């Protein structure tokens, strides 16, 4: 099956710093989503981004499907950005399945 | 607008007991997903429905697990009999079908502890 690798596995930032999280996937995809799991365990959908670039406030994401990676940018980080960031993909052949395969996540801690 | 609603938020029970988790998807969404999250295995898709019909249950770990969706606004995940290794956080998510795939929206999860 498709493999999803995220890096770095964990990251500590000072408030105000910028960061880039990476998601590599082993096969073509037609669906890629970024999620944030906050310290209370809630999973929030950040981006649906199978290709191209999107921005939402201090967050932006870019997916280069042909090179099989996606990047999540966090600018001017805040303590509320802490948590685990997951990338999830759906394979891009054989018709739509809606089955998301999740990466192992990047654990982010933003210190005041 | 109300998001995906799951109940209960926490469940603690003894092994061998039946456990029923409940989910109300976002109104109008026609896909519903059940996930399980553990430290060892991360987030795994157990089963998903489209228009109340189970489409893929290949992630259901064994026959002790069953899921139903009797109508568009309600789904259950049942474990009978429960075992300690079933302890995990169970998430329900829903999405809207459209041209291509759509973002999945998650409920707050049910934290299940089997003693």
Q: Which tokens in the block code for residue B9?
A: 């938020």
- pLDDT by residue for chain B (115 residues), tens only, comes to 689 999 999 999 999 999 999 999 999 998 999 999 999 999 999 999 999 999 999 999 889 999 999 999 999 999 999 999 999 999 999 998 765 557 899 999 999 999 9
Gap from A102 CA to chain B (nearest CA, Å): 6
* CB < 8 Å to A31, chain B: 100-101
Name the CA dihedral angle for A108, A34, B44, A98, rounded to a multiple of 10 degrees. 180
Task: Check residue B67 and give its pLDDT.
Answer: 98
* CB < 8 Å to A48, chain B: 101-103
Point out the residues of chain A with pLDDT beneath 70. 92-97
Q: Are B101 and B32 in contact (CB under 8 A)?
A: no
SS3 content of chain A, % helix, strand, coil (to 5): 5, 60, 35
Q: Which residues pair with B98 in a beta bridge?
A: B100
Instruction: Supply the DSSP symbol for A93.
Output: S
Kindly determine whether residue A104 and residue B42, on different chains, have CB atoms separated by under 8 Å: yes
A111 vs A109: CA distance, rounded Å: 6
Q: Is A30 on the interface with B (CB under 8 A)?
A: yes
Q: Is B12 on the interface with A (CB under 8 A)?
A: no
Q: What is the tens place of the pLDDT at every residue in A91-106?
A: 766 566 678 899 999 9
* CB < 8 Å to B104, chain A: 33, 45, 100
Gap from A43 CA to chain B (nearest CA, Å): 6
Q: Is A35 on the interface with B (CB under 8 A)?
A: yes
Chain centre distance of CA A67: 16
Task: Check residue A92 and give its pLDDT.
Answer: 67
Strand A101-102 relative to strand A83-91, pairing: antiparallel
Closest CA to A57 of A72, A40, A39: A72
Gap from A9 CA to chain B (nearest CA, Å): 13
Task: Check residue A91 and give its pLDDT.
Answer: 79
Task: Check residue B98 and give its pLDDT.
Answer: 60
Q: Are B75 and B68 in contact (CB under 8 A)?
A: yes
A62 vs A96: CA distance, rounded Å: 22
Task: Check residue A69 and give its pLDDT.
Answer: 97
Distance in angstroms between the alpha carbons of the first and the last residue of chain B: 36
């Amino acid at each position: 099956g498709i493999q999803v690798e995220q890096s770095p596995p964990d990251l500590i930032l000072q408030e105000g710093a910028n960061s880039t999280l990476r998601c590599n996937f082993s096969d073509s995809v037609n669906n890629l989503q970024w999620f944030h799991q906050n310290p209370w365990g809630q999973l929030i959908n950040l981006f649906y981004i199978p290709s191209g670039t999107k921005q939402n406030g201090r967050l932006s994401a870019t997916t280069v499907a042909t090179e099989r990676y996606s990047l999540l940018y966090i600018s001017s980080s805040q303590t509320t950005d802490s948590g685990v960031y997951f990338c999830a993909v759906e394979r891009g052949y054989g018709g739509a399945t809606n089955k998301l395969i999740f990466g192992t996540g990047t654990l982010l801690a933003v210190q005041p | 607008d109300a998001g995906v609603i799951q109940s209960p938020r926490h469940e603690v029970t003894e092994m061998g007991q039946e456990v029923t988790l409940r989910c109300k998807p976002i109104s109008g969404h026609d896909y519903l997903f059940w996930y399980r999250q553990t430290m060892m295995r991360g987030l795994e898709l157990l089963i998903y429905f489209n228009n109340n019909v189970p489409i893929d249950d290949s992630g259901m770990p064994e026959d002790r697990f069953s899921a139903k969706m009797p109508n568009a606004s309600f789904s259950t995940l049942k474990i009978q009999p429960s075992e300690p290794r079933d302890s995990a956080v169970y998430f329900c998510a829903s999405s809207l079908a459209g041209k291509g795939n759509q973002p999945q929206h998650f409920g707050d999860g049910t934290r299940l502890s089997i003693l």
